[in-house]
A = this chain, B = another copy of it.
Amino acid sequence: MKDVATAAGVALKTVSRVVNEEPGVTPATARRVLAAIERLGYRRNESARLLRRGRTATIGLVIEDVGDPFYSGMGRAVEQVALAHGSLMFSGSSGEDPRRERDLVLAFCARRVDGLVIVPAGPDHGYLRPELDAGVAAVFADRPGGLDADTVLCANSAGAYAGVAHLLRRGHRRVAFLGDDPAIFTAAERLAGYRRALADAGLGADPSLVAMGPPERAGAALSAMLAGGDPPTAVFTGNSRITVAVLRAGHRPPLVAFDDFELADLLVPGVTVVAQDPMGLGRTAAELLFERIAGGRGPARRIELPTRLVPRGSGELPPAPGTAGPGHR
């Protein structure tokens, strides 16, 4: 900018005025400055500008895995909203590691991002407190953080309830639940929805029909259940990785899966899913964030986005005749 000023024979400040389209510059002067800018290939140093102004027009996104379709869809939505607000987006993956999440968030804060969208990897966000007090905005997405900040969730419990109820309406009385580690918020919520659906249908909860754990064990868990004395007639899977694990293991039971996935419609039978809305999640979280960045006060909000049941065949199968012997109800 100094060079431009020299080249155009004006003061630094005048160049600044031209670049920022501030009023009070003669068209003739402005033309001279613009010509010099063009000639020198000058581009304003945004970092310096933002250092001076105090706003960085940058947000940070911390998700579990940039490569996971669910989260990357979310990221895309966040990016779109950021774009609309003239902000750029840092992004990083926590890989479910709370320490890595913390490091990323702090690195973003050190860059003085205006705000953060975080998919919490761990339950404890005490490290965020000083940052929030320092004026950084933060929104938790997909799972609640350990802090009283705006939060956007999917209707995990209600969605699982709807999915299980869908199976019950088809006459199933023994529905297995295959979920992830219950330490994960969404897994626990979905399990709760499953239990509520059974209870509301007047069915007792049979612990032998519930298997919680890492997806790679889901296939074997289901095999064991099916080989047992009183097998399930239908299955509800708690997330896509588990769904895929079950399918890869060769099982094609009557099935409703939580979370939609690419090509679910092309399998035979098509997989009935309780679809979440990753783009909606990202969009909503980013919108809340920018409200806060714009100065929005008030108590933390908690928004639950509805899920949508998408029947595709696997969830509409009746109990296989003979699988559930008489005497069950």
B-binding residues in A (CB < 8 A): 41, 43-48, 50-51, 56, 58, 65-69, 72-73, 75-76, 79, 83, 88-93, 106-112, 130-131, 133-134, 244, 247-248, 261-263, 265-268
Give Cα A114 to B92, complex, Å: 17
Whether A43 contacts B109 by the Cβ 8 Å rule is: yes
Q: Which of B44, B106, B134, B267 contacts A267 (CB 8 A)?
A: B267
Q: Which of B66, B67, B88, B92 contacts A111 (CB 8 A)?
A: B88
- Report chain B residues within 8 Å CB of A72: 66-69, 72, 75
* Number of chain copies forming the complex: 2
Smallest beta-carbon distance A60→chain B, Å? 9
Whether A76 contacts B66 by the Cβ 8 Å rule is: yes
Give Cα A73 to B44, complex, Å: 33
The 3 closest A-B pairs by CB, nearest first: A67-B76, A72-B72, A46-B110
Identify 16 new A-B residue pairs, CB closer than 8 A, beyond the known A43-B130, A67-B75: A41-B130, A43-B109, A46-B107, A46-B112, A58-B111, A66-B75, A66-B76, A66-B79, A67-B76, A83-B92, A88-B107, A88-B111, A89-B91, A244-B262, A248-B266, A263-B266
Whether B51 contacts A47 by the Cβ 8 Å rule is: yes
- Report chain B residues within 8 Å CB of A112: 45-47
Whether B93 contacts A45 by the Cβ 8 Å rule is: no
- Report chain B residues within 8 Å CB of A73: 67
Give Cα A262 to B248, complex, Å: 12
Whether B267 contacts A110 by the Cβ 8 Å rule is: no
Give Cα A36 to B18, complex, Å: 43
Write the chain B residue with the least CB distance to A263. B263
